[in-house]
Structure 1
Amino acid sequence: MPIGSVARVYDVVVLGAGAAGLMCAAVAGERGRRVALLDHNAQPGRKILISGGGRCNFTNIHCAPDRFLSANPHFAKSALALYTPQHFLELINRYRIPWHEKTLGQLFCDHSSWAVLDMLRAECERGRVHLVLNARDVRVERAGEGGRFRVESHAGNFEADAVVVATGGLSIPKLGATGLAYDLARQFGLRVVDPRPALVPLVLGGEEAHWTELTGVSAEVIAWAGEDSDARHGRRPAKRFREKMLVTHRGLSGPAILQASSYWRPGEALHLDFAPALKSGERLLQTLLEPRGRRDETAFRQALRGFLPQRMADRVAEVGAPEGWGNAALDASERRLRDWEFHPAGTEGFEKAEVTAGGVNTDDLNARTMEARIMPGLFFIGEAVDVTGHLGGFNFQWAWASAVAAGSAV
C-alpha cells in the first residue's frame, strides 16, 4: 500500500517488533486494545535470537535500579518494581520453557532463543495483535492537538490514538538498528541524551597497542571507569566489575571490560585491579617483601604469575617493573598493579556494542507509563530510552518492564 493511501484505524500502533515492542503489543492486546505492531525487518525479534549466544539471557534475578545507568538514576525504579524478573519467569514457566541460572544471577534458555521469541509471538496472537513486517520508511504525524496519530510506511498507513516507539538504539546496525526513535522524539519536542556505544570492547592505541600481541589471553580482573576522586564534583565512586578480561586483536574485551565500557568516556582512563582474589591485608608482592625474599625481575615476574596467566604476567612485568627494589618502590608497584591504567583510543563502535547508552531523556517521560509529558499518546520504551542495564539480562528486564508499563497505559 503506497504512502498517502487510506489508513487502517487501531487503538495503538507499536513501532518495533523487538523484545520491548512484542511485549508491549501483547500486553495492550490482551487488554482488548486493537494493536498494530510494525517492524521494518522481514522477521521480528532478530536481536532476541542472537542474544546470550543464541540462548537468550532473558533476565537477571538480581535486578535492581543500581544495575542501570541513566542521567536520572531514579527513573527506572517504578517500572522495574511493577514488573520484576519473577513476573517474567512466571510467563516463561507458563510456556514450559526450560531455563537455567548461570553465574551472577543470569537466566538463560536451556536450548534456543527461539523459545522466547515464539512465546512473545504467541502472546501477541492471544491479544490479536496485527503484526506488519517490512514496514520501512516510517513517518509519524499528529492531526492537530489531541488528534490521532497517523503512521505511514511502505507496508501501509495506520491511525491510532497512541503510538509506542520501541525501535531500539543504534547498536548492531547489521540487524537493522536505526535512529528512528531519536528522530521521532526530537520531532515531537522531546530531548535526547547523546547516544553512545555501551557494553562494547575498547580499542588500544599508541604504546598500549602492543598489548594486542596477547590476543586470546584472558584473566579475572576488577575493572572500572569514570571514577572521580574529587568529592566536590558530586560524582559517585565508580562501579567496579569483577569478571573476566579478554585481550583481542584490537584491544580489550570480556565481561569486565564490557561492563566498565558503559561508564567510560573518551579521554578517561580504564582502571584494572590485576589481583581481585587478594583478601584484605594481603599483598600481591608479598614474597618480595619477606625478610629473605628475592628482590629482582625474576621474583617480580614469579609473583605476578601467581595471579595472572604467564604471558600476561610477563607483559605486566615488562612494562610495569618497580623503579627500584626498596620498600617504597615495591609499595608503589603494588598500588599500580591494583589500579593499573589503560588509556583506550576509543570503542569498537555501535557495530560491536551490545546496547546503546543515552537515548530519549527520561525527564520528558512519565516513569510509571513511559508516556511523553508534552505529547499525550506518545510513548517510548526499551533501549530507545536513556536507561542502560549492566551485562547479564538487565537490558531485557528493562525491555519487559518498560513495555508492560506502556502496554498497561495505552
Structure 2
Amino acid sequence: MHFDLVIIGAGAAGLFCAGQAGQRGLKVLLIDHAERVAEKIRISGGGRCNFTNRDVGPANFLSDNPAFCRSALARYSSQDFIALVQKHGIAFHEKHKGQLFCDDSSDQIIQMLLKECAAGGVERWQPCSVQELQTLSAESTEASAARFELHTTRGQVRAHSVVVATGGLPVPKIGATDWGLRLAKRFGHAIVEPRPALVPLTFDEQAWAPFSALAGLSLPVAVSTGQGKVKARFLEDLLFTHRGLSGPAILQISSFWTEGQALQIDLAPEHKLLPLLQSAKRESKRQLGNELASLFPQRLAQAWLERLGLASQRPMPECKDKDLQNLAQQLQAWSLIPNGSEGWRKAEVMRGGVDTRELNSQNMESKRVPGLYFIGEVVDVTGWLGGYNFQWAWASAAACARSLHANTAIA
C-alpha cells in the first residue's frame, strides 16, 4: 500500500497533522499502537483538556535551542486553534492566567480532531505497531517516489514522507514509550536527555518528616530556582504532599530544576512579614501563634513555630527581635533541596527529546533524512503548565502539514 504521508502516533500532534495534511489533498495513514485514541488528551486538565492558552510566546517554552519554536508558534497561534474549537461549537472557559478548558469534556477535542481527520479522508490503523521503518533507495527521479517502507502489524506500506508524533515518556500506563527517540537515534539524530517535567518534587523521608503532616494544605507562594539567565520564578499555588511538594508552583519550577539545586520559596509573597511581626510586637497583645495564624493556614503556622522551637503561646510583646527576624526569614526565603521527583508516572510532559538543531524550524523536517519529520512532545520543546504544550503540538503539526504536498504518482 502506498501513501503520501504516514504519521506514527495518534496523539494531539499526530491527529492534528493528519487532519491538516489530509485536507490539503494528501493520502494519509495514521498509525498508533494503543487501543484508545489520544488518551493523553482525554485525561488532561482533569478531564476537561486545557487545550491552549490565550497568551503564547517563545518565552513560555524551554529548549536547548530556544529560538527553534518561534517560527511555528508565530504561523499557527492560539487564536487559530481557538477559531477551530469555535467552528466545531465547543464551549470553553478561561480558568486561570489565560488557560482555556472545555466546559464539558476533553473528549470534545478528541472528537473534533477525528472529524478533521475524516474531512481529510485520513485512514487510521489502531491498534497497530510499526515493527520497522527503513529508507528506500531512489527508485525514481520524480519527487513523488516513495522514500520509506514501513513494516507494521497490519502489513507493509510505503510512503513519500513519514511524521513521528509518538510523544514523550510520561504516564507509561497509557502507552507512552521511547519509540520515537530510538528511531531518531537510529537515523543519527542527537537526543537531548529526556527527564520528567511538570512533575511533583520529593524530599528525603527523614528531612521531610516535620512537613508530612501538612499533606493536603495549599497556599499561594513564589518559588524560584537557578541563577543568572537560567533562573526561573513563578507565583502560583503550592500543595504539600506526604512525600514532598506539588501544585502549579512546583510543577512549573520542576521543568527548570536540576538535581542538587535548591528551591527558594516565599510562603507569603504578598506580604513583608518582618515589618508586620515587628508592628504586632509593639501593638498587639495576641499570642505569637494566633498572630501567625492570621497570615497563614493554622497548620502551617504551628509547624513553623515547632520547627524553630518557638512557643506559640508567647505574647507578642515578649517575643525576641531575633526570633521574629528568623521566623520571617524562614517563611519568606525557605530554601530546600529536593532529592528527586515523582518521575514519569506523575509527570505531565517530557523535557528534552530530539535535538532541534537537526530539524528545520520552518517545517520540522530532519536535516539528516529528507522526508522524515518530528513534531510535538518527542521534540526538545517543552512548554510551561497552562495549555502551552498542546499549543506546541498544534503549531508544530501545522508547520509540518502545510509544508507537504500531495504526490499523485503514489496516491
Instruction: Flag whether TM exceeds 0.5 (same fold).
Output: yes
1:297 and 1:152 map into 2 onto residues whose CA distance is 76
Structure 2 equivalent of residue 158 of structure 1: 157
- Classify 1:347/1:115 alpha carbon distance in 2 versus 1 (closer, same or farther; 3 Å): same
SS at match of 1:252: strand
- Classify 1:382/1:292 alpha carbon distance in 2 versus 1 (closer, same or farther; 3 Å): closer
1:381 correspondence with 2:375: yes
1:383 and 1:297 map into 2 onto residues whose CA distance is 54
Query: What aligned pairs does 1:140-155 form with structure 2 within 5 A after superposition?
Result: 140-144=133-137, 148-155=147-154
Structure 1 equivalent of residue 408 of structure 2: none
2:10 and 2:23 map into 1 onto residues whose CA distance is 17
> How far did residue 292 of structure 1 move?
5.2
Question: Can you list the C-alpha shifts for 1:344-384, whole angstroms capped at 9, x where unaligned?
Answer: 12100000001111001111111111111111111111000
Contact 1:106 1:393 in 2 (8 A): yes
- Give the one of 375, 378, 403 matched to 2:397: 403
- Give the one of 110, 113, 125 matched to 1:132: 125
Question: Can you list the C-alpha shifts for 1:314-372, whole angstroms capped at 9, x where unaligned?
Answer: 112222468x9665664454333222112212100000001111001111111111111
Q: List runs of 5+ in structure 2 lacking aligned partners.
A: 140-145, 311-317, 405-411
The amino acid of 2:342's aligned partner reads: E
The amino acid of 2:277's aligned partner reads: L
The amino acid of 2:87's aligned partner reads: R
Structure 1 equivalent of residue 142 of structure 2: none
SS at match of 2:301: helix
- Give the one of 221, 242, 247 matched to 1:249: 242
Structure 2 equivalent of residue 47 of structure 1: 40
Structure 2 equivalent of residue 4 of structure 1: none
Structure 1 equivalent of residue 215 of structure 2: 215
- Give the one of 342, 350, 361 matched to 1:356: 350
Structure 2 equivalent of residue 290 of structure 1: 279
1:310 correspondence with 2:298: yes
2:281 and 2:118 map into 1 onto residues whose CA distance is 75
SS at match of 1:293: helix
1:237 and 1:141 map into 2 onto residues whose CA distance is 40
> How far did residue 407 of structure 1 move?
0.9
Q: State the TM-score, normalizing by the size of structure 2.
A: 0.90
2:152 and 2:389 map into 1 onto residues whose CA distance is 28
2:232 and 2:299 map into 1 onto residues whose CA distance is 28
Contact 1:135 1:156 in 2 (8 A): no
Contact 2:210 2:303 in 1 (8 A): no
Moved more, 262-271 or 392-401: 262-271
2:286 and 2:340 map into 1 onto residues whose CA distance is 33
Question: Can you list the C-alpha shifts for 1:40-64, whole angstroms capped at 9, x where unaligned?
Answer: 0112111111111111110000111
1:187 and 1:220 map into 2 onto residues whose CA distance is 46
Query: What aligned pairs does 1:52-131 form with structure 2 within 5 A after superposition?
Result: 52-131=45-124
Contact 1:209 1:251 in 2 (8 A): no
SS at match of 2:66: coil
1:168 correspondence with 2:162: no
Q: List runs of 5+ in structure 1 lacking aligned partners.
A: 1-7, 229-234
2:81 and 2:391 map into 1 onto residues whose CA distance is 8
The amino acid of 1:201's aligned partner reads: P
Structure 2 equivalent of residue 186 of structure 1: 185
Contact 2:130 2:150 in 1 (8 A): no
The amino acid of 2:299's aligned partner reads: R
Contact 2:99 2:387 in 1 (8 A): yes
The amino acid of 1:373's aligned partner reads: K
The percent of aligned pairs where both chains have the same amino acid is: 46
> How far did residue 265 of structure 1 move?
1.2
Query: What aligned pairs does 1:203-242 form with structure 2 within 5 A after superposition?
Result: 203-205=202-204, 206-225=206-225, 227-228=226-227, 235-236=228-229, 238-242=231-235
